[in-house]
Amino acid sequence: MEAKENGPNGEQSGRGKVLDGPTNPMVTPLLTDLYQFTMAYAYWKAGKHHERAVFDLYFRKNPFGGEYTIFAGLEECIRFIANFKFTEEEISFVRESLPSSCEEEFYNYLRGIDCSDVEVYSVSEGSVVFPKVPLLRIEGPIALVQLLETPFVNLINYASLVATNAARHRFVAGKSKMLLEFGLRRAQGPDGGIGASKYCYIGGFDATSNVAAGKLFGIPLRGTHSHAFVSSFMSPDEIIDKSLHSSDGSSICEDFVSLVQTWLSKIQWSNSLRGTFGETNQSELAAFSSYALAFPNNFLALVDTYDVMRSGIPNFCAVALALSDLGYKAGGIRLDSGDLAYLSCEARKFFYAIEKEFGVLGFGKMGITASNDLNEETLDALNKQGHEVDAFGIGTYLVTCYAQAALGCVFKLVEINNQPRIKLSEDVSKVSIPCKKRCYRLYGKEGYPLVDIMTGENEPPPKVGERILCRHPFNESKRAYVVPQRIVELLKCYWPGSSDKAREDLPPLKDIRQRCIKQLEQMRPDHMRRLNPTPYKVSVSAKLYDFIHFLWLNEAPVGELQ
Amino acid sequence: MEAKENGPNGEQSGRGKVLDGPTNPMVTPLLTDLYQFTMAYAYWKAGKHHERAVFDLYFRKNPFGGEYTIFAGLEECIRFIANFKFTEEEISFVRESLPSSCEEEFYNYLRGIDCSDVEVYSVSEGSVVFPKVPLLRIEGPIALVQLLETPFVNLINYASLVATNAARHRFVAGKSKMLLEFGLRRAQGPDGGIGASKYCYIGGFDATSNVAAGKLFGIPLRGTHSHAFVSSFMSPDEIIDKSLHSSDGSSICEDFVSLVQTWLSKIQWSNSLRGTFGETNQSELAAFSSYALAFPNNFLALVDTYDVMRSGIPNFCAVALALSDLGYKAGGIRLDSGDLAYLSCEARKFFYAIEKEFGVLGFGKMGITASNDLNEETLDALNKQGHEVDAFGIGTYLVTCYAQAALGCVFKLVEINNQPRIKLSEDVSKVSIPCKKRCYRLYGKEGYPLVDIMTGENEPPPKVGERILCRHPFNESKRAYVVPQRIVELLKCYWPGSSDKAREDLPPLKDIRQRCIKQLEQMRPDHMRRLNPTPYKVSVSAKLYDFIHFLWLNEAPVGELQ
């Protein structure tokens, strides 16, 4: 899908350069709920479709028992609206799906709409965000903006959820570990996998196994081999071309496999390792040798196909030492089963024993990657037990957000025709905060964010050094004065529509990732801890508080006790 | 992506008609893990890439604490391999992603491959399936089949998981209820939503809200309006065109809004309903009236924006009665918050009171849809409390498979060059079952399936009426004789490759759904119950049992106690 050209220079209503469509071509104006079309028709029929509405997109509760969320998915939303236009085929399908009594003129209306009159204000992608504060504010003709509800919420819910999950995994693993996203095969469908790769990278992962995501987003790729590779070999005899040039090209080893076998027996009879293992698996030895012949500079081996300590590690070391003879440095091992804490420590000891026994400098520091059904809890448990893992490959629990598979973003009408609107509920947490709002993050003396505050659109903004009353939106007793040392306005214009505002650029993925990492570092540690984190405060101005409660009383029916 | 034409009549290696590519155009040969390419290179470098390998795709444990799984995702896999071919751009990216030491000739190899020499045998989509028994058996050149691993597992994992989740929801809801999938906005990304709609339909849902899925798959669509629609109206005064033709076109009501208001006051002062509510919300009354004017034949109203019993239900009834005056029949209400059991019963009483009071036949049976964060447990709780809901709209918990967000399908090498292979593990449940196998479902006298049995490829098949010994693959004491009354071979040829087998047709979605519903009905009830279901038996032949254990001993290193 190509962005249509509205302006004389191929510019769109959003101004600036033409934007590609969403990453997934299935994201079309039909990727929405049927009721958005029935409502659009009802608005149109009532002559109400052009009325200017303001919607807030927000969530009500942080995921994973935590007290923060990473906002992601914005770029896909903007690319979606930049290219929002119905095809004739799509209009025909909408016609088939609505009652035949619907008037034909409505489809002409659909044919004409695009997002040139919609404005989108948003928190920057990769930001740390909190419940109730709008992530996006969308303004425009009500019928059209309703059509955007489902795709926007879809594009942001999972993106923010999985980015948050990634950030939480990074928090537990610590800065020094390499984190690899290995989830494609277990993800919820093809672009569940592609989305996971993109948004885990934003949340602080270093690389992915997903080649398509590497191509689409420039994310670094990582991978070694599987158990099938190991078991596909029967014995070293089947390796035909056994020759390997030395790393500097100066010499050639005619029988690399023999060299490996010589090393294996040296290890077997060495002083420090004698008796730790017997005959190793020959299928595995053949597979490792073969892999090393293919990738002498990038030899990484999965060592748990048969038995880690009695076969995988000795076989790996024999191949790594043979490579070392030829000037190559092996990359390391991957453990994919068993007690990862124990096995990584045993492997480390083995590597140090090799370093000492054979004088191969640095062999003890051989890379160890672990990858068996890891999640926040198992990473935490590994830390507590002590381990020697350098890199974690994380799949299922990360990409499916197994601990909590959904974020509950909602899209609520807060104003129409300049009239504030509220949605009530017996459950106070489900009452919406009315009015077109501005949102600020207030920072304290120590540089930490203290509180987010929402105000009415036309209230004077808070000022650095001036005391401001921050009120809980629904609990009258919760309020506090704050004297902010720094103030950041949260919602920026990412799609100006027909207004004269400047459009914020959509930054490259690496910059979004950097923003995320930086903002996480700036948070006060008690908000971030895994156990009983302190909730971050979200507030409204005194004026907005009063207005919410005035409107609430106005709309709620008065009960009669009987 | 178009299927390439191999044969003189546009036929492919798979024979029969040309197949479209996967539903999601992002499913390309690059949608795989990097290690599939590093392995492909290592196989190629070792001259081993053409060796004929057999892989089994299976899962180890049924999801959701149950004892059955619905198999889905097959059609997408077949459409993927029918169109499997690298573009030059994709090959360039693979070249960039692999070490620069990789030989150029490898990329010529990649350029040449397609799936014309791959064979795929599979259980039919929509079948009830069990752990350990292969869902698919894939045979072909090892390097190529490895490349298929990640996309196949990705396409089947979530499809089977969500179809199973849907089937479980249907089981709890009962046959008579309408089940609507409303999950698009909370799904894990755009095609998480589209996949959910497709596979929930297979699992027994009746309709979806997802318009794109309706278009792609012909699934019935359902939807009404949201809270935003209700709160976008201020008062009935803003409705400009208030006229409505009667259903038969014979007359016109010039002021439908007045008619509604008249009915509202009749209800308010009626004998049986007097005092149950006071002044209803006028914004809501306006929204309902307006929606009825747009959809007089399909009037469905969301009644919980302000207060269900004091505003939503009376307002709905007033509009429904006004419509009834004009010969239209209202569709019903939707409840989206609060105590759904209680509110549905109260609403039902109200409807019957209206029927009685005003003599409107059938009004008591007005449709009630419920839709607030429903899942298996809440459906079960509603059943136990008693409720009057006719249709359930289910979103988040259904489509994200919140109770268990991943199915663990794996893809294991079981044979290469006619040599059986095994993957060992300290965890017995992770040991693979070697050999190219045939799989049968054995049925007993009462028509229920009794046991699935796997045999070696060349063993004589089990015969109806003949006693056969079924053994647990890993537990020597678990075995039983079975005299099957009916036998179904489970794996059928869905992609014959270069063999001369006939290719099974890919049936329409409705047929897959019917197969699923029928197979679920045929299961013995104790396997299906939610609490402590009986595990269905999965077995191997005596000959295969012996061979597994021979190979196991052969491959496992012998430990030394120290």
A233: nearest CA in chain B? B416
Name every residue whose Cβ is closer than 8 Å to that of residue B115 and which is 6 or more positions away in sequence: B13, B14, B81, B82, B84, B140, B144, B148, B495, B497
- Alpha-carbon distance of A338 to A311, in angstroms, equals 14
Q: What is the pTM of this model?
A: 0.96
* Predicted confidence band of residue B552 (pLDDT cuts 50, 70, 90): confident
Q: What is the DSSP letter of B308?
A: I
Q: Do B226 and A279 touch (CB under 8 A)?
A: no
Is the pLDDT assigned to residue B5 strictly greater than 70?
no
Domain ranges of chain A: 34-167+404-555, 237-386
Q: What is the pLDDT of residues B49-64, one digit of tens each?
A: 999 999 999 999 999 9
Q: Which chain A residue has the Cα nearest residue B247?
A: A101
| Residue B13: predicted pLDDT | 47
Q: Which residue has the tokens 């699992």?
A: B203
Question: Which residues in chain A have Cβ-Cβ distances shorter than 8 Å to B159?
Answer: 189
Mean pLDDT of B177-193: 97
pLDDT mean over B344-361: 97
Task: Return phi, psi of residue A31, to 5°.
Answer: -80, 70
CATH number of B234-371: 3.20.20
- One-letter amino acid identity for A228? A
DSSP A372: S
Per-residue confidence (pLDDT) for residue A559, from 0 to 100: 65
Percent of chain B with pLDDT over 70: 96
Give contacts of B33 with chain A, Cβ < 8 Å. Answer: 182, 184-185, 209-211, 223
- In this prediction, residue B422 has a pLDDT band, given cuts at 50, 70 and 90, of confident
Domain B34-167+404-555 and domain B234-371, same fold? Reply is no
**Interchain pair B295, A38: CB under 8 A:** yes
Instruction: Measure B118 CA to nearest chain A CA, in Å.
Output: 17
Q: List all residues of chain B from 111 to 170 with a beta carbon under 8 Å from chain A.
A: 142, 146, 149-151, 153-155, 157-159, 162
The count of other CB atoms within 10 Å of the CB of residue B418 is 10
Task: Tally the residues of chain A.
Answer: 562
For chain B positions 17-36, those within 8 Å of chain A (CB to CB) are: 22-28, 30-36
> What is A237-386's CATH number?
3.20.20.70
Confidence at residue A435, expressed as pLDDT on a 0 to 100 scale: 95
Residue B1 has pLDDT above 60, yes or no: no
Q: Which of residues 438-467 of A touch B (CB under 8 A)?
A: none
Cα A82 from chain centroid (whole Å): 23
pLDDT of residue A560: 63
Kindly report the nearest CA distance between residue B442 and chain A, in angstroms. Answer: 31
Model pLDDT, residue A427: 76
Assigned CATH for A34-167+404-555: 3.20.140.10
- Decide if A240 contacts B46 (C-beta within 8 A): yes
Verify whether the Cβ–Cβ distance B402 to A400 is below 8 Å: no
pLDDT in tens, B450-463: 999 999 999 999 99
Whole-number pLDDT of residue B11: 43
Per the CB < 8 Å rule, is A224 touching B307?
A: no
Does B240 score more than 50 pLDDT?
A: yes
Could you tell me the CA-to-CA distances from B292 to A96, A198, B285 in Å, in that order?
20, 44, 11
- Note whether B412 contacts A209, CB cutoff 8 Å: no
Longest alpha-carbon distance in chain A? 98
Q: What is the pLDDT of residue B413?
A: 96
Q: Tell me the sheet residues that pair with B245.
A: B252
Tell me, what's the pLDDT at B553? 86
One DSSP character per residue, A405-454 reads -----EEEEEEETTEE-----SSGGG----S-EEEEEEE-TTS-EEEEEE
pLDDT tens by residue, B442-496: 999 999 999 999 999 999 999 999 999 999 999 989 999 999 999 999 999 999 9
The SS3 assignment for A282 reads helix
- Nearest-angstrom CA–CA distance, A358 and A381: 34
In this prediction, residue A265 carries a pLDDT of: 96
What is the structure's pLDDT at B555? 78
The rounded average pLDDT for each run of 10 residues, N- to C-terminus, in chain A (562 residues) is 39 63 97 98 96 98 98 98 98 97 97 97 98 98 98 98 98 98 97 97 98 98 94 93 96 98 96 91 96 97 93 97 98 95 98 97 97 95 97 98 97 96 80 95 97 97 97 93 98 96 96 98 96 96 95 77 58
pLDDT for res A18 = 81
In chain A, which residues have their Cβ closer than 8 Å to the Cβ of B26? 23-25, 190-191, 194, 212
CA B316 to chain centre: 34
